[in-house]
């Protein structure tokens, strides 16, 4: 699909490329014959990829290699084996590239005119990249790179050839559902906000667009990857949303624990404003859209949309009852569209290629792709994007490469503290919103923690309950008190001091907290307990009746059981 107005677009591209490229090679990117793409996302950075860039740049200039560029790019996916370096022209990926030998090998490879590609690993060949199409391909701090790969083509198309209603229709047609975890149809949410009547009282903007980048689930780093690897994509999605619902201002609420993502977002917003993709009169149209960053401050509950709104308003991040939903009354009581990072990141390809194209991926009613953060006791730990409906077995064993150290698969935990543990019996189930709910878990934002025989499921339930206890905002009693009591009961079970009555109490309390809590945090806090009780009740009983921990994790108290 071509951009709507070739003249405007060509002008803009020319203007953009007049600026200095950030490419670290001797010659600009477009001229380079081969390039070494060094991953500079958080995982690889922590394993020393900055030093790899320096060493490689030095070696390239020492050897006088012409036509070669050393570039900093976003996440290459296979985070556990970093720092990663890819030579895309040769189809080669170098793992653990911090050793001098590997750096020399990369330089050797760069000096060849062609090379035999590595055998394609299932980790890469089984993935379908939509949200991550640019991840590891572009410099995340260069809008030129983004524009060169069809960046802002969707916004140009929308502003020049589509009405706001057309944009919403495409999103509806795509079948996209909220990637934050609940799976609410995105098109429906957009049309609700578009139809909402702006509040009359008070000044300010009539409507707002908010991006929820408060990725709080422990074990989830998909949104971080998107923000660190391709921040412009999120901005474009938000600008399209602003156009569609009639908002001129937006906020990105990002957690303080992601300093690199914040830095790259700031840089991206500045570049987009200078290039005329944000601000007033975007692409010579009357549409204006201004974006600001708001940094979270370590409160998990702020991932809940009403708490997030309170936090942006500068208040304690406590939720309020819904309805009214933010789509009707959100930021400063104005209609507010709130979507997750990955949802916005999916919008540009949908507008570019059409909703029908997106709906053709995945398995209705869960269309499209989903990014998962694969971690825990799995070989290929990293970020993966697959069509919805792929089996759990394919994700864990084909793409994930199976269990670390030859261990035995026990469960995969999805949905973080709001989700559940799925046992081996269900490995062949398709991963989509409905199937996950049917086994007592949720899609969640996309964290997948693989566990082997070394994990005790009661201990895992206790871990998540401790998390919810710490993160409960304290506004409603069932969550504030219930999580404390459930955690005490789980501790007792782990110590071997519990009896069958305690197990009943735990189950009753869990049901009560689910039914009576104010927001999603409390409502879903008992989920890890429910799902481990459903699939691993024998482990609970072993702790209670036999005072043993089958996984050997829990230490029993010395006293005799009552």
Partner 1 sequence: MHAVPWRAGEDDVEVAVTADAPEHDDRRWRVVDARMRRLGYRPDALVEALHSVQDAYGYLAPESLGQVARALHLPPSRVFGVATFYSYFTLAPPGAHTCVVCMGTACYINGASKLLDKITARLGAGAGETTADGQVSVLVAHCVGACSVAPVVVIDGAVHGKSTPDSVLAAVDENGNLP
Residue placing its CB nearer to partner 1 in the complex, 18 or 406: 406
Shortest distance, position 545 Cβ to partner 1, whole Å: 25
Q: Two tokens at 66?
A: 């012409």
Residue placing its CB nearer to partner 1 in the complex, 19 or 315: 315
Residue placing its CB nearer to partner 1 in the complex, 79 or 241: 79
Residue placing its CB nearer to partner 1 in the complex, 256 or 356: 256
Residue placing its CB nearer to partner 1 in the complex, 10 or 297: 297
Q: Two tokens at 352?
A: 């570019």
Residue placing its CB nearer to partner 1 in the complex, 300 or 325: 300
Shortest distance, position 102 Cβ to partner 1, whole Å: 17
Residue placing its CB nearer to partner 1 in the complex, 326 or 376: 376
Distance CA 371, CA 178 (A): 12
Residue placing its CB nearer to partner 1 in the complex, 156 or 472: 472
- What are the strands of the beta sheet with 336-340, ordered from one edge? 290-295, 249-254, 208-213, 336-340
The structure tokens 């206890």 sit at: 469
The helix (run of H) or strand (run of E) holding residue 469 is helix 457-471
Shortest distance, position 464 Cβ to partner 1, whole Å: 8
Shortest distance, position 91 Cβ to partner 1, whole Å: 23
Shortest distance, position 378 Cβ to partner 1, whole Å: 9
User: Which of 551, 469, 559, 557 is CA-nearest to residue 517?
Assistant: 469
Residue placing its CB nearer to partner 1 in the complex, 314 or 559: 314
Shortest distance, position 36 Cβ to partner 1, whole Å: 21
Residue placing its CB nearer to partner 1 in the complex, 342 or 471: 471
3-state secondary structure labels for all residues of 154-214: HHHHHHHHCCHHHHHHHHHHHCCECCCCCCCEHHHHHHHHHHCCCCCCCCCCCCEEEEEEC
Residue placing its CB nearer to partner 1 in the complex, 187 or 296: 296
Residue placing its CB nearer to partner 1 in the complex, 460 or 521: 460
Distance CA 185, CA 181 (A): 11
* Phi, psi for residue 213 in degrees, rounded to 5: -115, 30
Strand partners, 252: 211, 293
Residue placing its CB nearer to partner 1 in the complex, 219 or 362: 219
Shortest distance, position 255 Cβ to partner 1, whole Å: 9
- Cβ neighbours of 328 (radius 10 Å): 18
Shortest distance, position 394 Cβ to partner 1, whole Å: 19
* Phi, psi for residue 514 in degrees, rounded to 5: -60, -45
Distance CA 375, CA 357 (A): 30
The structure tokens 């412009």 sit at: 232
Strand partners, 85: 38, 94
Query: What ranges in 315-395 are assigned the alpha helix state H?
Result: 341-353, 355-359, 392-393
Residues of the shown chain interacting with partner 1 in the complex, contacts defined by CB under 8 A: 42-43, 45-47, 79-80, 82, 215-221, 224, 256-259, 294-300, 311-318, 373, 375-377, 381-383, 413, 416, 447, 449, 451, 454-455, 460, 463-464, 467, 470-471, 473
Distance CA 265, CA 259 (A): 10
Shortest distance, position 417 Cβ to partner 1, whole Å: 9
The helix (run of H) or strand (run of E) holding residue 123 is helix 122-125
Shortest distance, position 382 Cβ to partner 1, whole Å: 5
Shortest distance, position 360 Cβ to partner 1, whole Å: 31
DSSP label at 426? G
Shortest distance, position 223 Cβ to partner 1, whole Å: 8
Cα of first residue to Cα of last residue in the chain, in angstroms, is 72
Burial of 330-361, coded b for 16+ CB within 10 Å and e otherwise, reads: bbbebbbbbbbbbbbbbbbbbbbbebebbbeb
- DSSP codes joined into one string, 69-100: EEEEES--S-GGGPSPEEEGGGTEEESSTTSH
Distance CA 150, CA 172 (A): 22
Residue placing its CB nearer to partner 1 in the complex, 117 or 204: 204
Distance CA 304, CA 367 (A): 24
Q: Which long-range contacts (CB under 8 A, 24 or more apart) does 1-10 make?
A: 1/153, 1/157, 1/352, 1/353, 1/354, 2/153, 3/153, 3/156, 3/157, 4/156, 4/157, 4/159, 4/160, 4/161, 5/156, 5/160, 8/156, 8/160, 8/283, 8/284, 9/153, 9/156
Shortest distance, position 4 Cβ to partner 1, whole Å: 35
Shortest distance, position 351 Cβ to partner 1, whole Å: 29
């Amino acid at each position: 699909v071509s951009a709507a107005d070739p003249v405007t677009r060509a002008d803009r591209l020319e203007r953009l490329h007049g600026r200095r490229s950030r490419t670290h090679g001797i010659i600009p990117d477009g001229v380079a014959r081969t390039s070494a793409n060094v991953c500079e996302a958080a995982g690889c950075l922590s394993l020393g990829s900055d030093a790899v860039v320096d060493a490689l740049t030095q070696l390239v200039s020492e050897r006088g290699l012409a036509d070669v560029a050393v570039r900093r790019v976003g996440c290459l996916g296979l985070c556990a084996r970093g720092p990663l370096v890819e030579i895309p022209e040769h189809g080669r990926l170098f793992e653990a590239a911090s050793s001098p030998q590997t750096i020399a090998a990369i330089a050797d490879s760069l000096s060849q005119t062609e090379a035999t590609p590595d055998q394609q690993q299932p980790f890469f060949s089984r993935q379908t990249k939509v949200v991550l199409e640019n991840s590891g391909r572009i410099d995340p701090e260069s809008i030129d790179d983004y524009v060169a790969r069809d960046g802002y083509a969707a916004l140009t198309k929308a502003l020049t050839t589509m009405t706001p209603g057309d944009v919403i229709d495409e999103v509806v047609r795509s079948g996209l559902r909220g990637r934050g975890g609940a799976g609410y149809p995105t098109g429906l949410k957009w049309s609700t906000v578009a139809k909402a009547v702006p509040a009359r009282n008070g000044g300010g903007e009539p409507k707002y667009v908010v991006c929820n980048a408060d990725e709080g689930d422990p074990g989830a780093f998909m949104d971080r990857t998107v923000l660190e690897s391709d921040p412009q994509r999120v901005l474009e999605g938000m600008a399209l949303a602003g156009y569609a619902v009639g908002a001129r201002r937006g906020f990105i609420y990002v957690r303080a624990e992601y300093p690199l993502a914040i830095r790259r977002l700031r840089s991206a917003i500045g570049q987009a404003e200078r290039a005329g993709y944000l601000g007033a009169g975007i692409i010579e149209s009357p549409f204006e859209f201004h974006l600001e960053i708001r940094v979270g401050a370590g409160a998990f509950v702020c991932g809940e949309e009403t708490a997030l709104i309170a936090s942006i308003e500068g208040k304690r991040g406590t939720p309020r009852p819904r309805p009214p939903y933010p789509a009707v009354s959100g930021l400063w009581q104005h209609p507010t569209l709130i979507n997750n990072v990955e949802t916005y990141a999916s919008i540009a390809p949908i507008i570019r290629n059409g909703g029908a194209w997106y709906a053709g991926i995945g398995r209705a009613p869960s269309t499209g792709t989903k990014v998962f953060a694969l971690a825990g006791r799995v070989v290929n730990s990293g970020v993966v994007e697959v069509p919805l409906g792929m089996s759990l077995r394919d994700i864990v064993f084909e793409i994930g490469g199976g269990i670390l150290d030859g261990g035995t698969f026990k469960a995969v935990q999805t949905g973080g503290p709001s989700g559940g543990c799925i046992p081996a019996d269900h490995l062949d189930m398709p991963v989509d919103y409905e199937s996950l709910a049917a086994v007592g878990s949720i899609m969640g934002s996309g964290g997948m923690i693989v566990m082997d025989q070394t994990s005790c499921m009661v201990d895992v339930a206790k871990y998540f309950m401790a998390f919810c206890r710490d993160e409960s905002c304290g506004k409603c009693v069932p969550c504030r008190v219930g999580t404390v009591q459930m955690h005490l009961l789980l501790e007792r079970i782990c110590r071997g001091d519990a009896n069958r009555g305690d197990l009943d109490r735990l189950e009753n309390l869990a049901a009560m907290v689910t039914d009576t809590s104010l927001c999603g945090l409390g409502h879903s806090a008992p989920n890890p307990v429910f799902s481990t009780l459903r699939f691993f009740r024998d482990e609970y009983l072993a702790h209670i009746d036999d005072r043993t921990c089958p996984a050997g994790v829990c230490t029993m108290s010395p006293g005799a059981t009552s």
